[in-house]
Amino acid sequence: MIRVDNHVLTLAEFNEYFEPSSLNFDSRDGGDNNPLREARTSFLLQLVEEMIIIRRAEELHLSISAEELDEAVRDIQKDYPQAGFEDMFLKQAISLEAWKERLRKRLLIEKVMRKDLLKEDSVTIEEMRDYYSKHREDWTSGEELRARHILLPTEDQAKKVLQRLKDGETFSTLARRYSIAPEAEFGGDMGYVAHGELPICLETPLFTLRPGELSPVVKSPYGFHIFQVIEKRETPVPDIEESVERIKQEILKAKIEAAYGPWLAELRSRYHVEVNMEII
């Protein structure tokens, strides 16, 4: 059981949420130190964070309207062939309504974080100029690539997903189903990535891939990664006027990452939070 003030997540609900991920594990796994238990622990902690942030949404009187949810669904659906979207739910053994509810919560969490962690006009001209002067050399190669990404909490789970990709399953489907990365809802699509935008432990294996090629499982402090390059292209080094939006987003991302831990800790201390670890 998880409790955040008056909000309670039962063991049955936890198991229902975790069910799609559990398909990657051998039912014979047991004991305290095994991949299934590690994955359930990671998932439990993720749900605690979600419930805390959703409690904050109540304080801020924030919600996701039906129109906002429908727009997000349409944006995801356009990446699928006509029958592919429905097939995704059959393969995942999940109902459309359950999937939409998870999407609604993800959108709400993003809205709360933008509201609390990003202020209006929170990126100044001086910050943008300073960022550009410090990072311009990172862009001098002129090479960038578009990639898909799956992030998993354990190496065992990552190896099983990688094998399913090699067996022909669709990267975007598995990313939406299993990845814990922010771009999971977009089928793992990271957009275009240039040199210097990722930690070196991720950049090195990613930029050695050819278009269409899958990476091996890559370990980092964030978990276990699988990449697939969609395409590569050569681009000139942009000047600051061409890079305004990119620079702004990088600065905002850094601000969110720096503020997230203290912000979440403060929220947790404000609410009554109970976590029964025995449910894992």
pLDDT per position as a tens digit, 30-44 = 555 577 788 888 888
Q: What percent of the chain has pLDDT over 70?
A: 83
Residue 22's nearest CA partner among 151, 226, 177, 169 is: 177
Domain 141-234 part of CATH 3.40.50.2000: no
Instruction: Determine the average pLDDT of the residues in 232-243.
Output: 72
* Pairwise pLDDT comparison (79 vs 224), residue with the higher score: 224
Q: Which residue's entry shows tokens 């304080």?
A: 59
Distance CA 232, CA 143 (A): 7
What's the CA gap between 228 and 109, in Å, rounded? 27
Rounded to an integer, the average pLDDT of 224-245 is 81
The pLDDT-based confidence of 52 (bands split at 50, 70, 90) is very high
- Find the radius of gyration of the CA atoms of the chain: 20
According to the model, what pLDDT value does residue 79 have? 65
Residue 149 CA from chain centroid, whole number: 9
Residue 107: the pLDDT is 93
For the segment 227-255, the average pLDDT, to the nearest whole number, is 80
pLDDT confidence of 93, banded at 50, 70, 90? low
Domains 2-122+247-279 and 141-234 share a fold: no
Q: pLDDT class for 64, splitting at 50, 70, 90?
A: very high
Question: What is the rounded distance in angstroms from the CA atom of residue 145 to the CA atom of residue 27?
Answer: 39
Phi and psi, residue 4, nearest 5°: -125, 105
User: How high is the pLDDT of residue 249?
Assistant: 83
Measured from the Cβ of residue 231, the count of other Cβ atoms closer than 10 Å reads 11
Please state which of the ranges 28-37, 150-159, 165-174 shows the lowest mean pLDDT. Answer: 28-37
Report the Cα 37 to chain-centroid distance in Å. 21
The reported pLDDT for the residue numbered 80 is 65
Could you report how far apart the first and last alpha carbons of the chain are, in Å? 10
Query: What is the Cα–Cα distance from 94 to 238, expressed in whole angstroms?
Result: 44
CA 148 to chain centre: 12
Which element (helix H / strand E) includes 113?
helix 96-117
Give me the residue spans of the domains in the chain: 2-122+247-279, 141-234
- CATH, domain range 2-122+247-279: 1.10.4030.10
Q: What is the Cα–Cα distance from 175 to 188, expressed in whole angstroms?
A: 5
